[in-house]
Amino acid sequence: MHRRLWISSVTLLVAAATATGPALTAAAQDHTTRPVAAPAASTAHRPLPLERLYDNRAVSDDARPGAADFDGAGRSLSAQDLTAAGWRPGARLDLDGAALRMPDRSPGDPDNVRADGQHVRLSGRGDTISFLVAATSPDGAGESVTGTGSLRYSDGSRGSYTLGAADWRGGPLSTKAVALPHLNAREGGQLGEKARLYAVTVPLERGRTLSSVQLPKDPGPGADLHVFDAAVRDEATGWSGTWSASTGGYTGSGLWQDQTLRLVVHTSAGGPRARIRLENTFAAEPVRIGHASIAVQRDGAATKGEPVRLTFDGGQAGTRIPAGARAVSDPVGFDVPPDTNLLVSIHLPDPVSAAPVHSEAIQRSYLSEGGSGDRTGESGGEAYTRSLSMWPFLTGVDVQGGPGSVVTLGDSITDGVRSTQGANARWPNVLARRLQGQDEVPKYGVLNHGISANRIVTDRYPGDGVSTDTAGVSAQHRLERDVLAQTRAKTVILFEGINDVRWGTSADEVIDGMKAIATRARERGMRVLVATVAPCEGYKDCTPTVDARRVAVNAFVRANSGHFDGVLDFDAAVRDPARPARMLPEYDSGDHLHPGDAGLRALAESIDLRELKG
């Protein structure tokens, strides 16, 4: 049972299934002759706790694959695979800020609800419901299953929502919450194909308190939506994000074992208390964090004063993060200055051969030698004999107080590629300094979610497996994690598209992607600003055809047509007026695609700060 809180959004742990034969009725028995009972008719319209509605078995033991029939065709999830991923029965899962728990049921026991209009008791106040889903189709071709449900608020008002669930066998890996390496089958035992579970969100009406959720009706013959759990997502009231980075991929690390990462990050807003966020995005197995600490950087790997120890889960020294999940440290008294380098140290006691990373840190961080143990509490930097140019695991630092955060969603120009190493000269850094130095609008934290080589429409990294490609899944596919789930995100600035048009995506496809991102963010109550795409004539693949696509995208953005809350003309800020397909020489880093420090400063200084205030 979950303790329900009055916080920001509702999350449902679900899976969708399409059977190859007739769907099981509520009173049907599987071949083990163990009945699956439905709630009594008298309770059909009275909201009940979700676990009292369980009527399906999704998980089987590998030794008894016939004990569950998730999809009506004798296939099921492997209990051993779930446990190996850290998703064991009763496990707590923080997925995009939602506190979920796997049903505490043994393999073969009823563990989920086949959605058919059941009323679920669920209270909370927020802006989204998020579903963890997986759909099946007879041929595993990746077809979606869609259903419509309703919401009831405590004031008697109602709302509706539409949920689309991707296929659990053939759906995209780029949006999965977790992927499992096998399926169990009643006939044939274990099958060597991946099973997927997804987290998909739908909006709630802001300012109203949810009292219950009616699940979608049965979508039709052979199709089901399976709901495992429901929880309310924390709105992070009283916190602001001061630093953040996107996970771009899951890459080999050599072998880290019993050593400590000391990562250098730069703050935007300040505050009297702090917490960090660690994410195991794209991973196939859990990672154990032994200890962690936070400090202000003195120089190199040395701290200014003694590092402040961080705890997790209400006072534990470390934590274990399941595959695809995240962990947020307990709040700690630590005065975080604005516009300052911090050192966040993370001890990894167990072998780590691959890690989720942000590869273009444009900042030198540090690593102790293998087997050197926990160095998180040391103020000196002598133990940190190796350096890193990426940020593994660490994706956020929050500070107490403040007005919330602005998220910059972009590619390598936002990431700061070709800016001065260690100078924090990225345009989001410049924007943060402008915000901190004025009183006309709130002093928001600025969160940089640029990923080098990222695109709006298509994935570069496929979203699963160890890869050297760390250009991320598409902006649309990472929107929930990198924007909507960020700490008190108020405004998003979308500055992307040049990689799409350079690599053959049509202007219409880029425009459709921009509109989709804006629609989803505005449904959550966020302000959406879209920037025009900067010029790149002179770069090796910036042909006249590419520029024609860019110009078409910019014409749409400038016209706005009500899709966005504002437009930032970054193209006009850096282009050469005498040659508008090319960047001004004084703003060019030298490759004609990426602005240098002066060009990045020009982008940030072109923003009317009043545009950030909703």
Cα 494 to Cα 39, 235, 569, distances in angstroms: 47, 22, 12
pLDDT band at 10 (very low <50, low <70, confident <90, very high): very low
Q: How many CB atoms lie within 10 A of CB 487?
A: 26
Tokens in use for 221?
Answer: 């013959």
Q: According to the model, what pLDDT value does residue 142 have?
A: 61
- Tell me the C-alpha distance between 587 and 603, whole Å: 10
Mean pLDDT value across residues 513-532: 96
Dihedral sign computed on CA atoms, order 135, 461, 426, 581: negative
Answer yes or no: is pLDDT of 96 > 60.
Answer: yes
Answer yes or no: is pLDDT of 6 > 50.
Answer: no
User: With contact defined as beta carbons under 8 Å apart, do 461 and 455 qualify?
Assistant: no
- Tell me the C-alpha distance between 101 and 13, whole Å: 8
Question: What's the mean pLDDT when you consider all of the chain?
Answer: 90
Answer yes or no: is pLDDT of 335 > 80.
Answer: yes
Residue 242 carries which side chain, given as an amino acid letter?
T
When computed from its CA atoms, the radius of gyration of the chain, rounded to whole angstroms, is 24
- Tell me the C-alpha distance between 236 and 487, whole Å: 6
- Tell me the C-alpha distance between 573 and 352, whole Å: 44
- Tell me the C-alpha distance between 532 and 542, whole Å: 16
Q: Which CATH architecture has domain 403-614?
A: 3-Layer(aba) Sandwich (3.40)
Dihedral sign computed on CA atoms, order 266, 269, 275, 281: negative
Q: According to the model, what pLDDT value does residue 22 have?
A: 30
Q: According to the model, what pLDDT value does residue 614 have?
A: 64
3-state DSSP call for residue 105? coil
- Tell me the C-alpha distance between 603 and 408, whole Å: 12
Q: What are the boundaries of each domain within the chain? A: 9-233, 242-398, 403-614
Dihedral sign computed on CA atoms, order 384, 389, 394, 396: positive
Mean pLDDT value across residues 135-163: 83
pTM recorded for the entire structure: 0.93
Answer yes or no: is pLDDT of 273 > 70.
Answer: yes
Q: According to the model, what pLDDT value does residue 566 have?
A: 97
pLDDT in tens, 422-454: 999 999 999 999 999 999 999 999 999 999 999
Burial classification of residue 195, based on how many CB atoms lie within 10 Å of its CB (0-12 exposed, 13-18 middle, 19 or more buried): buried
User: With contact defined as beta carbons under 8 Å apart, do 554 and 533 qualify?
Assistant: yes
Those residues whose C-beta lies under 8 Å from the C-beta of residue 63, and which sit 6 or more positions away, are: none
Look up tokens 């302000």; give the residue: 527
Mean pLDDT value across residues 29-48: 51
- Tell me the C-alpha distance between 232 and 152, whole Å: 15
pLDDT in tens, 356-392: 999 999 999 999 999 999 999 999 999 999 999 999 9
Q: According to the model, what pLDDT value does residue 246 have?
A: 98
Mean pLDDT value across residues 249-273: 97
Answer yes or no: is pLDDT of 29 > 60.
Answer: no
User: With contact defined as beta carbons under 8 Å apart, do 471 and 247 qualify?
Assistant: no
Q: According to the model, what pLDDT value does residue 139 have?
A: 66
Question: Which position has the higher pLDDT, 20 or 248?
Answer: 248
Question: Which position has the higher pLDDT, 479 or 201?
Answer: 479
DSSP annotation of 212: E
Give one word for 315, left, alpha or beta, with left for phi > 0 and alpha for psi -120 to 50: left
pLDDT band at 34 (very low <50, low <70, confident <90, very high): very low
pLDDT in tens, 553-589: 999 999 988 999 999 999 999 999 999 999 999 999 9
Q: How many CA atoms lie less than 13 Å away from 361 in the CB half-sphere?
A: 21
Q: According to the model, what pLDDT value does residue 38 have?
A: 47
Mean pLDDT value across residues 328-346: 98
Mean pLDDT value across residues 49-63: 94
User: With contact defined as beta carbons under 8 Å apart, do 281 and 247 qualify?
Assistant: yes
Tokens in use for 471?
Answer: 């250009």
- Tell me the C-alpha distance between 538 and 581, whole Å: 9
Answer yes or no: is pLDDT of 609 > 50.
Answer: yes
